[in-house]
Amino acid sequence: MGIVRNIAAIAKGMSVTFREMFNPTIVENYPDGPGPTRGAMFQERFRGMHVLQRDESGLEKCVACFLCAAACPSNCIYIEAAENTAEKRVSGAERYAKVYNIDYNRCIFCGYCVEACPTDAITHGHGFELATYNASSLIYRKEQLLAGTPAHEGANAIFSQYENARLVPNK
Ligand code: SF4
Ligand code: SF4
């Protein structure tokens, strides 16, 4: 009986193999494929490189509350807070993140920071091309994580003032 059971198990396993042999082969033609992802395919829920979001007026949503850093199990978020002033308003609240770094050497893309954020300032984007030979380049700065400036940026005098003063251009 044991032999019959073993043969049945092998036949069952091989049936999967033979079935797959006649299915069309689907491969991702990355990095030579079309589109912005160069042929890579991923699900909407894919957790890629973070994005620091802006509100509809172009101000940064991050209010430097440090909750994301506290929730991070890898201790890879570094924030320095600063006060908004009448002359230089960066976020809609009292404070903003003057420095916001994420160390992708340590990040495990768990999403806890996204869950912890009370203002939806930090989200996972779909960026995935993080591989590098230089570990120090895996520490991403706020300027690399910030969402693109809104189309009406030029109309917002305060926002533009801040943008013009930035040392590192937005990616
Ligand atoms: S995804 Fe997880 S590990 Fe990465 S920064 Fe957020 S909380 Fe930390
Ligand atoms: S990203 Fe969100 S949780 Fe983190 S400091 Fe900014 S506002 Fe707070």
State pLDDT tens for residues 112-161.
999 999 999 999 999 999 999 999 999 999 999 999 876 655 444 344 44
Indicate the DSSP class of residue 97: E
State pLDDT tens for residues 78-95.
999 999 999 999 999 999
Q: Are 104 and 130 in contact (CB under 8 A)?
A: yes
Q: Does residue 97 share a domain with residue 14?
A: no
28 Cα to the center of ligand 2, angstroms: 35
Q: Is the CB of 113 under 6 A from ligand 1?
A: yes
Structure confidence at residue 160 (pLDDT): 40
53 alpha carbon, closest ligand: 2
Average pLDDT value for the chain: 87
Q: Does residue 127 share a domain with residue 85?
A: yes
Domain span at residue 100? 49-165
Tell whether the model's pLDDT for residue 31 goes beyond 60: yes
Q: Which residues contact 42 (CB under 8 A, 6 or more apart)?
A: 48, 126, 128
Largest CA distance in the chain: 85
Q: Does residue 78 share a domain with residue 23?
A: no
